[in-house]
Chain A
Amino acid sequence: MIEVKGLVKNFGSKRAVDGVSLTVRKGDILGFLGPNGAGKSTTMKMITGFLRPDAGSACVDGIDVAVDPVGVKCRVGYLPENAPAYPEMTVEEFLGFIAEVRGYRGAEHRARVDRAVGLTHLGPVRKQTLETLSKGYKQRVGFAQALLHDPPTLVLDEPTDGLDPNQKNEVRTLIKSMASEKAVILSTHILEEVEAICNRVIIISRGRVVVDETPAELQARQPSARLDEIFRSLTQTDQ
Chain B
Amino acid sequence: MKRSQIAPVFKREFLGYFRSPVAYVFLVVFLVASVSLGFFVGQFFKANLASLERYFVFYPWLFLFLIPAAGMRLWSEEKRSGTIELLFTLPITTVSAVLGKFLAAWLFLTLAILLSFPMAITVGYLGSPDWGVVAASYLGSILMAGAYLGVCSLMSALTKSQVISFVLSVLACFVLLCLGWNVFSGLLTSVLPVPVADALANFSFITHFDPFTKGIVDLKDVVFFLSLTGFTLFLNVAALEK
Binding site for B on A (CB under 8 A): 45, 48-50, 70-71, 73-74, 76, 78, 80-82, 84-89, 97-98, 100-103, 129, 145
Q: Is the CB of B89 within 8 A of A78?
A: yes
Residues from chain A with Cβ under 8 Å of B89 in the complex: 48-50, 73, 76, 78, 80
Q: For chain B residues 1-36, which have a beta carbon within 8 Å of chain A?
A: 4-5, 7-9, 11-12, 16, 19-20
Residues from chain B with Cβ under 8 Å of A74 in the complex: 91
Kindly state the separation between the CA atoms of A210 and B163 in the bound complex, as whole angstroms. Answer: 43
Nearest Cβ on chain B to A130's Cβ, whole angstroms: 11
Q: Is the CB of B88 within 8 A of A86?
A: no
The listed residue (A73, A85, A97) touching B91 by CB distance below 8 A is: A73
Binding site for A on B (CB under 8 A): 4-5, 7-9, 11-12, 16, 19-20, 81-83, 85-86, 88-93
Residues from chain B with Cβ under 8 Å of A45 in the complex: 85
> Which of B5, B16, B86, B90 is most buried by chain A, counting CB atoms within 10 A of its CB?
B86
Q: Is the CB of A100 within 8 A of B7?
A: yes
Residues from chain B with Cβ under 8 Å of A81 in the complex: 82
Query: Which partner residue on chain A sits nearest B83 by CB separation?
Result: A84
Q: Is the CB of A145 within 8 A of B86?
A: yes
Q: Is the CB of A101 within 8 A of B90?
A: yes
Q: Is the CB of A80 within 8 A of B20?
A: no
With A45-B85, A103-B4, A145-B86 known as contacts, the answer to whether A86 contacts B91 (CB < 8 A) is no
Q: Is the CB of B8 within 8 A of A101?
A: yes
With A89-B19, A97-B8, A97-B12 known as contacts, the answer to whether A102 contacts B90 (CB < 8 A) is yes
Nearest Cβ on chain A to B11's Cβ, whole angstroms: 7
Kindly state the separation between the CA atoms of A89 and B20 in the bound complex, as whole angstroms. Answer: 10
Q: Is the CB of A70 within 8 A of B93?
A: yes
Q: Is the CB of A87 within 8 A of B81?
A: yes
The 6 residue pairs across chains A and B that have the minimum distance between CB atoms: A84-B82, A100-B8, A73-B91, A88-B19, A48-B89, A74-B91
Q: Is the CB of B91 within 8 A of A102?
A: yes
Interface of B is mostly: helix
Kindly state the separation between the CA atoms of A97 and B8 in the bound complex, as whole angstroms. Answer: 6
Nearest Cβ on chain A to B96's Cβ, whole angstroms: 9
Residues from chain B with Cβ under 8 Å of A48 in the complex: 89
Residues from chain A with Cβ under 8 Å of B91 in the complex: 70-71, 73-74, 101-103
Q: Is the CB of A86 within 8 A of B83?
A: yes
Kindly state the separation between the CA atoms of A236 and B118 in the bound complex, as whole angstroms. Answer: 71
Residues from chain B with Cβ under 8 Å of A88 in the complex: 16, 19-20
Residues from chain B with Cβ under 8 Å of A71 in the complex: 91
Q: Is the CB of B82 within 8 A of A101?
A: no
Residues from chain A with Cβ under 8 Å of B16 in the complex: 86, 88-89
Kindly state the separation between the CA atoms of A199 and B92 in the bound complex, as whole angstroms. Answer: 33
The listed residue (A85, A87, A98) touching B90 by CB distance below 8 A is: A98
Nearest Cβ on chain A to B180's Cβ, whole angstroms: 38
Q: Is the CB of B82 within 8 A of A82?
A: yes
Kindly state the separation between the CA atoms of A85 and B81 in the bound complex, as whole angstroms. Answer: 8
Kindly state the separation between the CA atoms of A70 and B95 in the bound complex, as whole angstroms. Answer: 12
Q: Is the CB of B85 within 8 A of A101?
A: no
Nearest Cβ on chain A to B105's Cβ, whole angstroms: 15
Kindly state the separation between the CA atoms of A85 and B77 in the bound complex, as whole angstroms. Answer: 11
Kindly state the separation between the CA atoms of A145 and B89 in the bound complex, as whole angstroms. Answer: 11
Kindly state the separation between the CA atoms of A78 and B91 in the bound complex, as whole angstroms. Answer: 11
Nearest Cβ on chain B to A161's Cβ, whole angstroms: 14
